[in-house]
């Protein structure tokens, strides 16, 4: 099974706001939920899912292993803890959250531990997040490209990462775009506003439709039920070649997330 093209993200949502957001998302039709150990909201996500009444078999749950748990002795047990919080026997996808080149655990060790988690049935698929080309190549060398379901990376009309996305496509590794709205910065973009007006759509829908049309999966988050509903409509929005060409001109290497010590040297 591939990666669902549309999911709900939970980055920066904690406590009741995380529960409400996920519950609303499931209620309006989302069936994929993205969380991470470091978000500190896996238990809330698990609660929202449990209370939603949506059968587990209909859901696609993704979590990410935090850097503190990369060691061979820690990764599997940390994922078991995540599963307890999420109230499930297994997740659908588990990612290495950041390559963290300086954190003392070599890449082959954590990729092997991630593959072990899959072999144990704790996760159906595995993948990576925030990896550049060189590190993706190293990950492939350890587990094989067919084992890497996705590389979840920051992508938006302002950060289009052509080299990296072309490489991933060539390898058959799906791209998941996070921060597709660049913390809301793209929502004020006049070019996107013009395209949105033409299609009687919102700017958020245009940015999400752009990513979907490039073949990327998206995981936008919102605490507002109406935005969650509205974002989903991006799936039905078809941008034309002229729209896509205009959006291509907005690329400005506008990276929002680049934590020191965790991020790689970007391509």
Q: Which of 3, 6, 88, 110 is nearest to 42 (CA)?
A: 88
Query: CA 91 → CA 19, 122, 217, distances in Å?
Result: 18, 7, 18
Annotated active-site residue in 39, 110, 178, 216 = 39
Bridge partners for 96 per DSSP: 65, 128
Q: Catalytic residue at 70?
A: no
Answer whether 241's CB lies under 8 Å from 210's CB: no
What DSSP state is assigned to residue 65? Answer: E
Residue 61 pairs in a beta bridge with 33
Long-range pairs of 183-187 with CB within 8 A, sequence gap ≥ 24: 183/256, 185/156, 185/158, 185/254, 185/256, 186/156, 186/157, 186/158, 186/250
The catalytic residue positions are: 39
């Amino acid at each position: 099974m591939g990666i669902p093209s549309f999911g709900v993200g939970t980055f920066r949502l904690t406590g009741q706001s995380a529960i409400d957001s996920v519950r609303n998302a499931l209620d309006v039709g989302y069936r994929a939920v993205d969380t991470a150990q470091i978000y500190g909201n896996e238990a809330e996500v698990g609660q929202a899912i449990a209370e939603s009444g949506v059968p587990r078999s209909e859901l696609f749950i993704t979590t990410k292993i935090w850097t503190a748990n990369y060691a061979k002795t820690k990764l599997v047990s940390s994922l078991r803890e995540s599963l307890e919080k999420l109230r499930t026997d297994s997740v659908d996808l588990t990612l290495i959250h950041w390559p963290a080149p300086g954190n003392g655990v070599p890449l082959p060790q954590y990729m092997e531990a991630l593959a072990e988690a899959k072999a144990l049935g704790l996760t159906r698929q595995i993948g990576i997040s925030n990896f550049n080309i060189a590190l993706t190549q190293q990950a492939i060398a350890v587990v094989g490209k067919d084992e890497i379901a996705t590389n979840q990376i920051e992508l938006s009309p302002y950060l289009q990462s052509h080299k990296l996305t072309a490489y991933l496509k060539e390898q058959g590794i799906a791209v998941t775009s996070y921060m597709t709205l660049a913390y809301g910065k793209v929502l004020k973009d006049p070019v996107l506003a013009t395209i949105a007006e033409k299609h009687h759509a919102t700017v958020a829908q245009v940015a999400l439709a752009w990513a979907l049309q490039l073949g990327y999966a998206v995981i936008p988050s919102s605490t507002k039920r109406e935005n969650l509903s509205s974002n989903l409509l991006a799936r039905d929005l078809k941008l034309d070649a002229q729209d896509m060409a205009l959006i291509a001109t907005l690329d400005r290497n506008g990276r929002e997330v680049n934590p020191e010590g965790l991020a790689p040297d970007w391509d």
